[in-house]
Amino acid sequence: MKGLPVSPLAPSGFPDLPDIAGVEAAIGRAGFYKHERPDLLLIRCIKGTRAAGVFTSNAVGSAPTDWCKQALSATRGAARGLLINAGCANSFTGPAGDAACKRSLEAAAEKLSVETREMLSASTGVIGVVLDDSKIAAALPKMEMAPVRWPEAAAAIMTTDTFPKGSGATCKIGDADVRIAGIAKGSGMIAPDMATMLAFVFTDAALSAPILKTLLRQENETSFNSITVDGDRSTNDCVLLFATGQANVAPIADAKDERLNDFRAALSRVLADLAIQIVRDGEGATKLVTVNVEGAANDASAKAIARTICESPLVKTAIAGEDANWGRIVMAIGRSDQPVKRDMIGVRFGDLVAARNGMISEEYDEAAMSAYMKAAELEISVTVGPGGGRARMFTCDLTKRYVEINGDYRS
Amino acid sequence: MKGLPVSPLAPSGFPDLPDIAGVEAAIGRAGFYKHERPDLLLIRCIKGTRAAGVFTSNAVGSAPTDWCKQALSATRGAARGLLINAGCANSFTGPAGDAACKRSLEAAAEKLSVETREMLSASTGVIGVVLDDSKIAAALPKMEMAPVRWPEAAAAIMTTDTFPKGSGATCKIGDADVRIAGIAKGSGMIAPDMATMLAFVFTDAALSAPILKTLLRQENETSFNSITVDGDRSTNDCVLLFATGQANVAPIADAKDERLNDFRAALSRVLADLAIQIVRDGEGATKLVTVNVEGAANDASAKAIARTICESPLVKTAIAGEDANWGRIVMAIGRSDQPVKRDMIGVRFGDLVAARNGMISEEYDEAAMSAYMKAAELEISVTVGPGGGRARMFTCDLTKRYVEINGDYRS
């Protein structure tokens, strides 16, 4: 999978990310890939750092996500280190996988002079293969901890990604200046076998683990949980948020504290930016599509409808063909198994009205629609009934290249 | 879409179907397609015929499915006629679509000398376009009712199908010889815009509408409701079962009557045969795949897991690439949102064991797997836990040709 051309939807370059006081990193090569490339990222956080995570809801899970859940629970979020490898997901590997995960973290903890229980772990790669932790143990001595170089860190966790993904922000908590920097990899389950969407976000704010968890869960819902490339939810997905506490933030006891408003907005922007970069790197993608749903019974129902539209093969192939095939969108709304009012259904492409009140619109203009569909970024908005439920999701098109990449991978 | 090559999975020819006493048909051309081809099928059933139907659960539905539901209810299943057109689904067309559907049936009823309320209707084609019933009215006078020629009837309802689909059986009800003949079209929602799976089954048995309905619902569950090509559920799907009562069957009052066992088995075979022919004609399909699930909490849960495997783009593209990518199957099991026991999950390809008890199998043989995957017909069997729930579903692979056909259609 080396040498994939960069996605046509890639950003123009890697952004300037702020330094986060209290975070160091090293990259290395364990050799999980046949070709030369870094496949290890080790992070050390300063004492006092607090962390929170959200993890895949795939029932199979993986050794590293299982580890993180128990470690964050056992230490109440007092994390000091993070070891990430690309090339082996260490998922569906039973007790042998758990033991290999733990041994790799013991070795990393020793190098970082922290407790093993303070280590977090993330793996991405082939499902069903037990992690060969001896490769990691051999690589660790060669890795030098230093201030984080974000582009290199983001590149070290890539698998079939065609560009490294980063996003940062600065904001205020009370009078204190606070910085946020995040990196991500993957594209849902579109990376073949590389069943992973991973994101790691760091801030120098001083925030407790429960507050981090609350903020992350809330903002994750409209960012990573609002993207889909192919509906195939990975066994290894995780988003981890670390707060080093090095910014001069006055103590905050409650996630609802108004002083967090600016931070919450900044975190939201960073997570959404990373999530959309993942869609931009969707395998074979040539279109970035925003789907808005309104008029649903509630927000969850709106999201289920948005997801059905975003994951419909017929909608996605029509978009690949630059076909404003609104009938397929109506079909997808109808098959969502959500309460909808057929005679109130409307469909818009950008500002162009295709259907309104359960029928084709009188303003329907095929030529204008066709012209609109040629853009690389599209917005589809649907009304499904009289309710107040709304949702927005992001997806990409389904092209022959997706089939090619995912059909040819292991062979 | 004319001139699509015949699916490599097509049967060797159209089967010999039995004559069903009391059924006549005519084919015609209303001109819903630009090219020359029949697009109308009109059926007349003898007085005393009883009918039952199952219809799409897509909330959008269509004018013809709405009509059939109300007509079967109003007449308690006393159907005499059936008008089917290809080329226009008459779905999402509001009151104008309902009125056009009714006018087309009034014209057909007059030709057949039956009541309009005794007519049933089915349409397949583009969503969102109101049926031009004047084309049907113009075509009807040229159509001659005659004994059914099943291959021609099956061809007249095709849209992007690459071969006509039929299946028949003979069986006994008590001492009476009974015949069953059925035709079908489509392939779930894989036919682009031609959003329809339609099947029409006729028997000369004398059975009441409630008994027909019970049998059809039960047998539909393991046939048409057990196939999926792309998960895109049409607005127009319907299966109609007609019983003309011309065979010399003693009255039966209850669907559980043991005298129905042979008929039920024969009906089951016919429905399953038609359903699998639809998968064989899945757009771009090169593999017919049977997915068996066992060990689930219950049969419904097993079916949900089977459906997730069958509809996973990563599983389907791996099959297209002849890759025994069992990790993706494990991923799909895990993302089904059904109760599963990770450490009991097993995966087999044919008789070859890939995974067992939550890990790769010791018998795993990549060379044997690769050889197995080259066959045109594959069987994947998974164990997901200790339960008694089982299900079987049928699907096909996802190829570049699918993307091509569905991306290029309207443009």
DSSP B50-114: EEEEEE---TT--HHHHHHHHHHHHTTT---EEEEEEEE---S-HHHHHHHHHHHHHHHHHHHTS
- Give the per-residue pLDDT at B411: 41
Assess whether A196 carries a catalytic annotation. yes
Q: Are residues A231 and A274 in the same domain?
A: yes
Distances (CA, A) of A73 to A53, A78, A108, B246: 10, 9, 20, 72
Place of tokens 């079987």: B392
Residue A410 has pLDDT above 60, yes or no: no
Nearest-by-Cβ selection for B232 from A58, A314, A360: A314
pLDDT in tens, A249-298: 888 888 999 999 999 999 999 988 988 888 898 888 999 999 999 999 99
Measured CA to CA, the distance from residue B85 to residue B137 in angstroms comes to 12
- Give the per-residue pLDDT at B346: 95
Mutate to test the interface with B, among A325, A362, A364, A384 (most CBs of B within 10 A): A325
Which residues in chain A have their CB less than 8 angstroms from residue B408's CB? Answer: 321
Which residues in chain B have their CB less than 8 angstroms from residue A331's CB? Answer: 58, 60, 127, 189, 195, 232-235
Q: Are residues B155 and B294 in the same domain?
A: no
pLDDT in tens, B53-65: 888 877 788 999 9
* DSSP annotation of B278: H
Nearest CA in chain B to A338: B59
Q: What is the mean pLDDT of residues B365-394?
A: 95
Residue B5 covered by a domain? no
Residue A196 has pLDDT above 60, yes or no: no
DSSP class per residue in A353-388? EEEETTEE-TT--HHHHHHHTTSSEEEEEEE-SSS-
Residue A7 covered by a domain? no
Contact B321 A408 (CB under 8 A): yes
Give B88's strand partners: B126
Q: Are residues B188 and B242 in the same domain?
A: yes
Nearest-by-Cβ selection for A192 from B314, B332, B406: B314
- Give the per-residue pLDDT at A2: 47
Q: How far is A311 from chain B (nearest CA, A)?
A: 9
Q: What is the mean pLDDT of residues A110-138?
A: 94
Contact B235 A127 (CB under 8 A): no
- Give the per-residue pLDDT at A3: 57
- Give the per-residue pLDDT at B187: 62
Q: Which of B262, B280, B298 is the last residue of a domain?
A: B280
State whether the Cα torsion A289-A294-A296-A302 is positive or negative.
positive
Q: Indicate if ipTM > 0.90.
A: no
Split at pLDDT 50, 70, 90, the class of A193 is very low
B165: Cβ–Cβ under 8 A, 6 or more apart, which residues? B154, B183, B184, B185, B274, B277, B278, B281
Percent of chain B beyond pLDDT 90?
63
Contact A230 B61 (CB under 8 A): no
Residue B17 has pLDDT above 50, yes or no: yes
Split at pLDDT 50, 70, 90, the class of B125 is confident
Q: How far is A252 from chain B (nearest CA, A)?
A: 37
Residue A233 has pLDDT above 90, yes or no: no
Mutate to test the interface with A, among B336, B372, B406 (most CBs of A within 10 A): B406
Distance linking the first and last C-alpha atoms of chain A = 11
Domain containing B400 — which CATH number? 3.10.20.340
Residue A160 vs residue B139, higher pLDDT: B139
Mutate to test the interface with B, among A340, A406, A409 (most CBs of B within 10 A): A406
Residue A232 has pLDDT above 80, yes or no: no
Contact present, B56 and B65 (Cβ < 8 Å) = yes
Split at pLDDT 50, 70, 90, the class of A187 is low
Q: How far is B85 from chain A (nearest CA, A)?
A: 18
Q: What tokens were used for B175?
A: 């001492």
Split at pLDDT 50, 70, 90, the class of B3 is low
Residues in chain B: 411
Number of domains in chain A: 2
Question: A400-408 and B400-408 are packed helices; what angle lies between their axes, rounded to 10 degrees?
Answer: 170
pLDDT in tens, A4-27: 688 889 999 999 999 999 999 999
Contact present, B406 and A321 (Cβ < 8 Å) = yes
* pTM as predicted: 0.85
Contact A402 B317 (CB under 8 A): yes
pLDDT in tens, B251-299: 888 899 999 999 999 999 998 898 888 888 888 899 999 999 999 999 9
- Give the per-residue pLDDT at B15: 94
Give alpha helix (H) positions in A281-312.
299-311
pLDDT in tens, B22-36: 999 999 999 998 888
Contact A336 B59 (CB under 8 A): yes
Residue B12 covered by a domain? no
Q: What is the mean pLDDT of residues A25-52?
A: 94
Residue B240 has pLDDT above 90, yes or no: no
Q: Are residues A308 and A382 in the same domain?
A: yes
- Give the per-residue pLDDT at A49: 93
Split at pLDDT 50, 70, 90, the class of A1 is very low
Percent of chain A beyond pLDDT 70?
95
Percent of chain B beyond pLDDT 70?
95
Q: Which of A219, A247, A280 is the last residue of a domain?
A: A280
Nearest CA in chain B to A56: B335
| B155, burial (CB in 10 Å: exposed 0-12, middle 13-18, buried 19+) | buried
Contact B317 A398 (CB under 8 A): no
Place of tokens 């199957």: B329
Residue A411 has pLDDT above 50, yes or no: no
B256: Cβ–Cβ under 8 A, 6 or more apart, which residues? none
Residue B304 covered by a domain? yes
Residue A8 covered by a domain? no
Q: Are residues A230 and A326 in the same domain?
A: no
Contact present, A260 and A173 (Cβ < 8 Å) = yes
pLDDT in tens, A298-353: 999 999 999 999 999 989 999 999 999 998 999 899 888 899 999 999 999 999 99
Q: What is the mean pLDDT of residues A51-58?
A: 85
Nearest-by-Cβ selection for B232 from A92, A312, A406: A312
Q: Are residues A275 and A292 in the same domain?
A: no
- Give the per-residue pLDDT at A272: 86
Which residues in chain B have their CB less than 8 angstroms from residue A408's CB? Answer: 321
Q: Are residues A217 and A355 in the same domain?
A: no
From A81-95, A102-116, B194-208, the region with the lowest mean pLDDT: B194-208
Domain assignment of residue B248, given as a range: 23-280
Q: What is the mean pLDDT of chain B?
A: 90
Q: What is the mean pLDDT of residues A381-399?
A: 95
Which residues in chain A have their CB less than 8 angstroms from residue B328's CB? Answer: 127, 193, 195, 232
- Give the per-residue pLDDT at A56: 81
- Give the per-residue pLDDT at A248: 86
Residue B30 covered by a domain? yes
pLDDT in tens, B74-89: 999 999 999 999 999 9
Q: Which of A263, A280, A297 is the last residue of a domain?
A: A280
Q: Are residues A186 and A272 in the same domain?
A: yes
Q: Are residues A119 and A262 in the same domain?
A: yes
Give alpha helix (H) positions in A56-184.
63-74, 94-112, 133-139, 150-156
User: Which amino acid is it at A133?
Assistant: D
Contact present, A278 and A188 (Cβ < 8 Å) = yes
Q: What is the mean pLDDT of residues B129-148?
A: 97
Q: What is the mean pLDDT of residues B182-202?
A: 65
Domain containing A258 — which CATH number? 3.60.70.12
Q: Are residues A104 and A127 in the same domain?
A: yes
Residue B104 has pLDDT above 50, yes or no: yes
Q: Are residues A76 and A151 in the same domain?
A: yes
Q: How far is A164 from chain B (nearest CA, A)?
A: 23
A175: Cβ–Cβ under 8 A, 6 or more apart, which residues? none
Contact present, A238 and A58 (Cβ < 8 Å) = no
Residue B192 has pLDDT above 50, yes or no: no
Residue B315 has pLDDT above 90, yes or no: yes
Residue A105 has pLDDT above 90, yes or no: yes
Contact present, A179 and A228 (Cβ < 8 Å) = no
Residue B211 covered by a domain? yes
Residue B64 covered by a domain? yes
Q: Are residues A206 and A173 in the same domain?
A: yes
- Give the per-residue pLDDT at B228: 77
Rounded to the nearest 5 percent, the helix, strand and coil shares of chain B are 35, 25, 40
Q: What is the mean pLDDT of chain A?
A: 90
Mutate to test the interface with B, among A230, A314, A342 (most CBs of B within 10 A): A314
Split at pLDDT 50, 70, 90, the class of A195 is very low
Q: Which of B56, B124, B159, B196 is catalytic?
A: B196
Which residues in chain A have their CB less than 8 angstroms from residue B234's CB? Answer: 331
Residues in chain A: 411
Burial B367-380 (b: 16+ CB within 10 A, else e): eebeebbeeeebbb
Q: Which of A56, A65, A124, A196 is catalytic?
A: A196
